[in-house]
Amino acid sequence: MPEKKKKKKRRISVRNLSGLFSWNIGTIIFGAIFVYIIISFFLYLTADHITSYTVTAGPLAQNPTFQALVLRSEELVQADADGYIHQYVRENTKVKKDGILYAVGDKEEETPAGEVELTEEMLSQLRSRMAGFSYNFSPDNFYDTYNFKYELQGTMLQYASDEGELSQLLGDQTVGKAPVDGTVLYTTDSYEDLTEEDLTMDAFNQKAYEVTSLQQHSRVSAGDPVCRMITSEKWSLYIPLTDKQTVQLAPNKSMRVKFLKDGETQVGAFSILTIGGQRYGRITFSNGMFRYSNDRFLEVELVTNTQTGLKIPVSSVVDKEF
């Protein structure tokens, strides 16, 4: 019988095995760092994360805001005759009683013609007005140039206080004068005659609120409104109140109001009224009317919460183990 071939056995030396696995100090350190990174990454994914906040000082409670209705002492000035009206006072300008407001004539374009003798004081006032207009002039509001022109004409007419001089300058035009001291506005909104006693919730409906411009150089009839005059610096804000708000605000006798239109604040006398079964908060001021003379509604914030501090979010972690 033939002899079986013996299988050759492969011999692996210890020297060759050590070549496959080089266990030096660098490999051990790298392996330890790699395991550490894997564990740290896993812990980061499964741990609760801390969120940072920027905390600033401010009021600890929010102040209530309202849409307030503005009531003032106002009077409509009506045309004295039929014809083309020429207005000589810039809007938001104060005029004394019997000051010239407008003139009504038969011609659509009719400019005062003649000479007025001016004193040094009058010339100084005119120069000051011209310098102020030039400093504040913007090409984007070029129409102000025409308003300033009519204002200068009105000023010249004021200087011509003598009736004979007025007749020389204006000819056959009818001169309209201010019935009282006041600030001139060229809008009307039918709220001029609204009084506190007649106040209803319908007056706060801004969707139905309409404003009509009176600043025009067109034909008018006798009795037509030509401007509106605010005759007092005293003015009031009215705010509808709920039962809860009435209880919260009742202890206050004065109220600091922040006007959100321009960020200004002002303190006024505060009281609560009941008119027709509805409660209203009334805040009365003795100055500052000029800033909001054209506004019938103002968004205001009642500054009742004055305590300030750091406002920390509820979700913030106060302390944590590391």
Q: Which whole-number Å values give the CA distances from 265 to 88, 255, 283, 294, 315, in the listed order?
A: 34, 10, 13, 18, 34
Q: Which position has the higher pLDDT, 225 or 145? A: 225
The pLDDT value recorded for residue 91 is: 80
Q: What is the average pLDDT value for the chain, to the nearest integer?
A: 80
The pLDDT value recorded for residue 236 is: 95
Torsion of Cα atoms, 156 then 157 then 160 then 162, to 10°: 180
Position 177: which residue type?
Answer: K
Residue 93 CA to residue 293 CA, distance in Å, equals 11
Residue 192 CA to residue 76 CA, distance in Å, equals 7
- Percent of the chain past pLDDT 70, that is, above it, reads 73
The pLDDT value recorded for residue 147 is: 66
The pLDDT value recorded for residue 180 is: 92
Placement of tokens 């800033």 in the chain: 291
pLDDT tens-digit map of 248-304: 999 999 999 999 988 899 999 999 999 999 999 999 999 988 899 889 999 999 988
Continuous segment of H or E residues that includes residue 179: none
Structure tokens at 120: 């040094």
The pLDDT value recorded for residue 27 is: 78
Mean pLDDT of 57-66: 75
Q: Is 133 exposed, middle or buried (0-12, 13-18, 19+ CB in 10 A)?
A: middle
Residue 245 CA to residue 230 CA, distance in Å, equals 31
- This prediction's pTM: 0.66
The pLDDT value recorded for residue 205 is: 92
The pLDDT value recorded for residue 218 is: 78
Position 176 confidence tier, pLDDT thresholds 50, 70, 90: confident
Q: For residue 196, what are the contacts with CB-CB under 8 A and spacing of at least 6?
A: 71, 236, 238, 273, 275, 282
Residue 207: CA atoms inside 13 Å, Cβ hemisphere, count? 2
Mean pLDDT of 56-74: 83
Structure tokens at 167: 């007749």
Mean pLDDT of 69-89: 89
Residue 235 CA to residue 244 CA, distance in Å, equals 26
Mean pLDDT of 229-244: 94
pLDDT tens-digit map of 128-152: 878 877 877 777 767 667 667 766 7
Helix (H, G, I), strand (E, B) or coil at 158: helix
The pLDDT value recorded for residue 239 is: 95
Structure tokens at 89: 């006072």
Position 117 confidence tier, pLDDT thresholds 50, 70, 90: low
Residue 256 CA to residue 306 CA, distance in Å, equals 10
Weakest-pLDDT range from 75-84, 100-109, 154-163: 154-163
